[in-house]
Structure 1
Amino acid sequence: MLVLAFICCFKNHSYSNQVEKRDSLFKCIQIAKSDTAIMSAYFNYASLLKFEDTDSALFYVKKALSIANKIKDDKFIMKANNELGIIYWYKGDYKNAQNLLTEAFNAGVKFNDTLVLISARYNLGNINVTQGNYEAALANFNKVLNYIGSKDSIRMAQTYNAFGNIYLYQSDYVKALEHYSSAANIYEKYPSSKDLALSYNNMGIIYYYQEQYEKALTLYQKSLEIKESIGDKKGMSDCYNNIAIIYDDLNKSENAYKFYNKAIVLLKELGNMQGLASTYANLGELEQKNKNYDKAELLLNDALKIQEEINDKRGKTYSLTSLGSLYYHKNKYTEAITFLKRAIVVGQEINAKKELLTAYVNLKDIYIEQKEYQLAANYYKLITRLQREIFDSERLDKLNDIQSRYETKAKEREIEILKANRKLKDLEIKQKDIEVNKQKTITLLLSIGFGIFIIFMIVIIRLYFGKRNANKILAFQKEEISQQKEELQAQSELLTSTNKALERKNIQITDSINYAKKIQFAIIPEIEKINANSLETFVIFKPKDIVSGDFYWFSRLNNYVFIAVVDCTGHGVPGAFMSIIGNNLLNEIINQKQIINPTEILTNLDIGVRSMLMNNLSEDRLQDDGMEISLCRIDINNKQVVMSCSNQNAIICSNGNIHEIEGSSYSIGGIYLKNKIFNNFEFIVENDSIIYMFTDGFHDQFGGEKNKKYGSVRFHELIKTVSNEEFNAQAVILEKEFTDWKGKNYQIDDVCVIGIKI
């Protein structure tokens, strides 16, 4: 489990003289005489210790709070409760932390203390993140931004980073990158070493998720150097943990063990239970990878115990998933399934997509081992859907948009750098002019002689100091420009890498679906083939996605022509697979078994669909899987038409009369019903009669001025009107009506309409 760069509160301590400050504040405690002075000294000393020695910090804040209660200083009580809340959060005591921070916030409202309001809300958000309550965390951080406004850009950047951390936990790389970029843009204007270390860490995590481990390792090491130089032990432990994960993935176990143990030593010293549990879990994963299963089991159980005690839901999801994987590798499938399903319950609660994906993959593999292929297939569907959520085309477009905006800003920065370079050239020209003037002055003074030697020395000294100051300015500006170039290049490489990875994923998925389209269109009959049977036909076929859940089918058997319009469950890839099942079953029932009665055909189709899908599924799992169909049999010799419809209607226009055929209310497949009956409707039609069969995609489409559904009533009226037009023009009229009605709206379902003129 990677550790994100996390800011516990908004106070910015300088660590360069931390020891001197601590000694100075301790002396203040010793020499303070009044209650107010002692109380303030205790509080300031505790504030300095809270991230190094939490127990001592807790002791001194409580002493300060005791004095504040004694002298009834309500404002100081507010500040002390806020500080205590931060310390309890750091120790993993979330219940006490929430109570104290809430008290501090309420007091902040009473006293209109903006700083306390900001700090309390921010740290309540931190607790929400730790517990996996991301919705509450987002609400708290949004309120922090409202309090800050545009007054404090550094606090704003820190809050953007907090948002980025939440979205990264949820595998929403687009939003994470947006917020990290917003924070980075602010840090570039107000550079500080601690903020730069935070940016290095978060950028390294995104490189890690892109499997660019060497780049991620370089950024983690840069972050670690800064945190070691300022004495940030919490930050150092985070870096040790992240570096260890990289070495683990690079199969450098010795280095991974070394850095995990470094992190554990610091986390125990700091009393950071959440970080300690995360590192135990990571170390357990490493032991499992090295097949030290007993050690792995002990470490993972230790981690889970701590995470359950402090209600760390994200960490709990990770540990449960790891234990499930461990038992799977030990061939203890029952225990593995138990832990993986527990992980899924918690993971779904906090939307932990990466952990859910790992749990689904392990359960799929277990069920394959147990030959429970239908259960394995179910988890394969969940895996496919979750992978699509993490890497879909819409997210790719958004990442491209972020990259475009970032490149625009980068070009603006390049223009600034060019301007700065021009200034440097101007300064160099001025410097050369100064040198020329200097030489002229020296020559002049030497020619004048010793008499004006003193004046000559004064000029030289002035020129010397002028040159030194100019050199300092030049060196500072060059260093600043060089640093900006490096940062811009690193961020540009990151965005380019992210874009390429997502493009590859999108191309693979799109290629697979396009190939499926070729397969589906290969089984759909050509219009010319239908028309070759003394019929005229038009087809409107509009898949919602690349492939379709709707399809139409044709066959001729002796004097009978069979035409079907079918609407399968779903659309896109799932619907397309169901359409292939329907096509194969119709071929088998009519062409091979030569069953010609439409009601018998639908009954056999119903049995076939249920048989194909049943394999180990319960009835309640089957109730939504199936299809709706209109089947028409035409006797070419005597113009007899027999139709049977399942949960669809059809329309016949003959000799100026309109007949609506209402199908049965039962679907093909779905839940098993003993009394499921399909009816035949028989007609002898005149020449030039037209049969219209259709799915529900046309009349379910939203559009029009009020953005409502087209509706079945309006659609039937449209068919009646169109039936009076020339047959060759009817398809054009229907397509134009659908396009005009839909307008700019998104097509919500597959559309299939067939007209058959006898």
Structure 2
Amino acid sequence: MKYFLLVILLSYLFSVSLAQDGRIDSLKNLYDNTNQDTSKIKLLLEIGDVWEFQNPDTALDYYKKALALAESKAKEYKGKKSEKDFTILKASCLRYIGIVYDSLGNLQTAEKYYKNALSADKKYDNYIGMAASCNNLGTLFYSLSRYDVSIDYYEKAIQYYKKVSDKNPEKPNLKAVQGISLCYNNIGNIYSEQCDLEKALDYYYMALKTLEKIDFKRGISACLSNIGVVHQDLGNFDVAIDFFNRSLKIEKELGNDDKIADLYLNIGVTYWEETNDMTDTAVIRKKFELALEYYNMALEIDLAMNKKSSLAKIYANIGVIFFDLGKMEKEGKARNQLFDKSLNLYEKAHVLFEEIGDRNGLASNFTNLGFLYHWKSNYRKAINCCYRSFLFADSTRHLIWKRNACDCLSKAYYALNNYDSAFHYKMMYIETNDSVFSQEKARVLAESGAKYEDEKKQILIDNLNKEKALNQAEYEKSEQEFERQRYIIWISVAGIVLLVLFFISVFRLYILKRKANILLAEQKAQIVLKNSKLEQLNEEINAQKDEIEAQRDMVMVQKNHIESQKKEITDSINYAKRIQDAVLPSGEYLGSVLKDQFVISIPRDIVSGTFYWSNTIDDRFVFVMAGCSGFGVPGALLSMLGISYLNGSVRGNRIPPADEVISGLENAISSALKTESDKSGYLDQKENTVQLCLCSVNLKTGKMDCLSKGIPVFILKNKQVIEHFDQEFSHINKFEINISENDVVYISTMSLLKLFSGPDFNNKPYDLKTMFSEISEESGEIQKHQFKTIIENLLMGDNPDEDICLAGFKIL
């Protein structure tokens, strides 16, 4: 519901990109007819600015062309006055390029360009440029949920902007003043995100006060909206709506449909949150109607603009309304229909959050899904969704999401009779809820306490003045009389209360005794009647007893026979498992070739259809991970065929090309399975596909050639994960890469990615890649232990739906 003011570059933020062919042609004409290099660089930046929203790649080309010209001219005029001008233009080019990479989600590259721009501006104390770069970095680290780093950069940006604005207090630089305000606003958003609402309000009011000095309406509107959000969180709903309407009035004057839609959404959320403490269902439904009315107005605008980030939030909020309406219905068709509508909207929101890479939205939506599945009695799905939300909220210190996730987890574990886990998350919910309360209400309670103390002091002063006006003797007499009367009153009241309680107890005992006597008489009559029926039933039961005992003996014989057969089959499969393990490469062999390595294989049905194979020929180490169709015994048989083929393919210390290995392996399996008796079509060629990854590494040079079909490959270089895989199993992905010292190669089956990515198996494996980055420096044994522990926790004691295999190794 909160929208963040993304201040990437002030000159960029406050300009209007017309994106018209006529403007581009005009700028190109100016570029062709000018001889000044500084003008050429500025015109290239303007042309890129026009293209940025329509075609980021084209904009990037113009920005890089401007950067190349600025760098060459800075070197040409080194040591001269013009070097400063071209260096500052170079910094601008670097910031513009960083903006494009930031908008494309390439945050690591964007960070590098922003820092290079900051360094270039520092050389000549270009405070406006330095502030813009710090602002960009603050926004970038906010998107990564690294709030402390983000606040630090915003504070630096404020200091740089103040150096510019303080030069002429009577006529301050507008860009500097706007920059100061927007930094205050962004810091306020961070504290609001962390539920430190007192600090958030302080920064929002500082931002508002700064902008009112220059009457910058767009910024004033944003500050009013954010202040409204804080009052919304504090439960001051009428105040919140007032601030939103004041902001809405300004945005309508400016004709800003984007912000108008956001404000409609905020007002709708306020009407929904207002129902939290209500009990009158008629009033609640009326508030829900108002909320839906504003949501639909926001939806109409955002659909026309195709604004995916806002559409995702609207779908999620409408889903919450239908979910709450469903909870108000009795169990039955009406409730299920409302829950289905809610689930459909949550799924729409999930797709959009995933598409735009909004991890905050995904975490919030997972909590919504968790509560919905809990009400639908699908407790395991509820736990899966809320646990993902809990992990993210705990890592980012988002107290409200953490509290909601703990609440859902506690209820779901309780429903599954897992009382230890239910108690654990209930205690975390209580602790987190106390933290949220203390942070959100501290300011209100402090103000109330101060007011109470002032009133108390005033009353005390008044009493002292009255005491001075009274005669000392009369005061003592009245005090004694008052004490005597108070004593008599308390004695009388106590006696009356005790008498009333006595009569109530006697009357209650009489009523209970009378009810007990009536109940005993009714029970006696029922017992007599039931005894006669039991005697009749006893004769029938005795007659059936002999027949049941005979049938029981027969069942026991059959049971023992079935258990004997099951044991023989299980023993046979376990023996097959030992045979399969024997033909796989041993840990000792892999350890003798590689610096550090581990392999985790978790079959679905004891034996696996996924296998791995390795060999060392001359200076090359070859590692293969492959998965054949099927699970259990059929899959294991196919994997044995695959291993046999790979062993046979090594002739004369040479392995065929990877393409031939894949096609040859598929043909070998298909040929081996073709029989005249196969008339069912089960062994059709279409079913005998192979997912395979073959990595060939030169142990001396570190160069690795890799071919992957249906199996992801992750390479961790300098704590950054490089991902190679195609979700289309029929596509073959070839690539080569130089492996450096301490680089780690991870190869896994798609089943592991599905396990980590939740209900939608097309999700990008954010959590898995984060784990690769965090534990890559550990030894192979430690990595293997940590991965197995996390996989077992995700499986929650169940077998996986598919065979899982994960290999990791360091070459140098």
TM-score bucket (shorter structure): 0.3 to 0.5
TM-score for the superposition, normalised by structure 2: 0.44
Asked which structure has the greater RCO (Cα within 8 Å, sep 6+), the reply is 1
